[in-house]
Chains A and B, each alone.
Chain A
Amino acid sequence: MKKYLTLTRAGIIEALQFRLSFVVIVVGNLLYLTVIYFLWKAIYASAGADRVNGMTFTDTLIYLVLATALFNFMEMYTVWEIGRSIQSGKIVLDIIKPMPYRRYLFWSFTGSFVTQFFLTFLPTFIVVCILTHGTIRFGVNIPLFILSVTMGIIINYSIDFIVGTICLYTESIWGINIMKQVIVLLFSGAVIPVAFFPETFKKVTFCLPFRAIYDAPLSILLSQGTSYPDLLHMFFVQLIWCVVMTAVSVLFWNVSLRQITVNGG
């Protein structure tokens, strides 16, 4: 465990080297949240109803703001990192490290997780809590939310890692990455809450793992009349995705790597 935490520490130190980036991240985040706020305020004002698809303006706002905040700290541009390592040949050095590459990369990112968490997610969360006067309950949903976010991170990372592995086969990092990003953002409900989706679209979404990244933790956090069986069900589904995606990503990587080392790619 210690060798992994060393990577976390190194990541934090590395992130701290870029001093002015912090200002940009914090201010940018605020500006972005403002845009979302005004946009949805205008949208709801034009709708003339308090509740659309069962969500009030406040619900939607909290949902989107926190989704953005989650996105900011979960998106680690893993695909770029893997792709660049492959293109520059650095991957050879990475895979001979005395720990599995998949784990090595994950723990190198944890440093950014920590800094991003304190820079974007936590301030955003506090601001939202204050501004919405207790719309967010503080009960059993908080520990569940934390667990759920952790699983979200693992699912997100696994997806990224699968997509990154594809880079072993094709040189097109940009194309692959953009496709992944587009699909994840749309189907995970990070841009528009899943509740607003048309029925058939919603069904598709429920069959895909992406919802478990952003929508699941947020639904758990914001759950108000939702019954525990429902919550547990969501939780369970997330857990299954977590296991499945991890397994798939490990397997895919191992198979691909064998192919590469045999063929001397």
Chain B
Amino acid sequence: MDNKRGLFFYLKLYGKIVVQDIKSKMSYRADFIISTIGMVATNISGFIGFYILFRNFPSINGWTYDEMLFLYGFSLVSITPVQCLFDNNWSLRINVYTGDFIKYCFRPVNLFFYYQSEIFDIKGLGQLAFGIGTIIYAWSRIGLPVTFLAILKLIIFLSTASLVMIALQNAAAATCFWIQNSFYVLDLVNRFRDYAKYPITIFSPVFRFIFTFLFPIAFIAYYPSLVILRPNEIPLLTWLSPFIGAAFFYVSYRIWMYGAMRYNGTGS
């Protein structure tokens, strides 16, 4: 029997599950509307906070309001995939705690894929719209030229940034295989991603190192967006960020899978 399923198999399967999932979500209209309002409220409040801050302090560490706005929009877009596609990570802790996680282990498909495919969070798309709007606004305010190459760069580096975010969340969620109550870890990562929109240069060297290599929030917005904002002084790390993103993602995937297998070895 052929069990080496290819990418195409998984894409097709994911498509089917997502279509069904969206259909069923639409039937819970009230929940959908309230959640969407909640999402919008979150974003608006983020902007209000941002606005209040820059009302009092017109620039931070040599970064102007518009540039910071760009970083902000960039971070919003790059956290969209994790919001939309990997939201089931939030339930992982409860599934593990109640023992329900075992039910995902009996299918002849990749466990990680199967688990994550269960939930597609449409609310994330609202965030995507906010993010894109912000990027476009900041882009025009800064007066950057609109070229095909620039847009291509933006798309490439946005996707690598989201890989890093996904990696962080996977790893954080996977901690529940060891410490049961991983909510604090996930919540922490979630809170830190709000700070991903600030330039890494504000930190001391030690923390710059930590936030670059150990807890890589600097790759969520700062390094990748340098390609657009500071085209003349792009550090090597920015060029490496696609590879780093992929590497982080792979590592987090291995951690998740290792944890899942290990958990089954101890769970009742």
Q: Which A residues lie within 8 Å of B30 (CB)?
A: 170-172
Residue B267 lies at the interface, judged by CB distance under 8 Å to chain A: no
Residue A142 lies at the interface, judged by CB distance under 8 Å to chain B: no
**CB 8 Å contact bits of A58-102 with B (1 = contact, 0 = none):** 000000000000000000000000000000000000000000000
Provide the main secondary structure of the chain A interface. Answer: helix
Task: State A191–B45 Cα separation when bound (angstroms).
Answer: 11
Shortest Cβ gap from A120 to chain B (Å): 10
Task: State A93–B61 Cα separation when bound (angstroms).
Answer: 56
Residue B38 lies at the interface, judged by CB distance under 8 Å to chain A: yes
Q: Nearest B residue to A187 by beta-carbon distance? A: B45
By the criterion CB–CB under 8 Å, are B198 and A28 in contact?
A: no
Q: Nearest B residue to A77 by beta-carbon distance? A: B183
By the criterion CB–CB under 8 Å, are A53 and B56 in contact?
A: yes
By the criterion CB–CB under 8 Å, are A21 and B184 in contact?
A: yes
Q: Which A residues lie within 8 Å of B210 (CB)?
A: 31
Shortest Cβ gap from A56 to chain B (Å): 13
Residue A118 lies at the interface, judged by CB distance under 8 Å to chain B: no
By the criterion CB–CB under 8 Å, are B45 and A38 in contact?
A: no
Residue A32 lies at the interface, judged by CB distance under 8 Å to chain B: yes
Shortest Cβ gap from B106 to chain A (Å): 24
Task: State A185–B198 Cα separation when bound (angstroms).
Answer: 20
Residue B53 lies at the interface, judged by CB distance under 8 Å to chain A: yes
Q: Which A residues lie within 8 Å of B212 (CB)?
A: none
Q: Nearest B residue to A19 by beta-carbon distance? A: B179
Task: State A46–B61 Cα separation when bound (angstroms).
Answer: 6
By the criterion CB–CB under 8 Å, are A176 and B49 in contact?
A: no
- B residues contacting A by CB (< 8 A) are 28, 30-32, 34-39, 41-42, 45, 48-49, 52-53, 55-62, 175, 178-182, 184-185, 188, 191-192, 195, 198, 202-204, 207, 210, 215
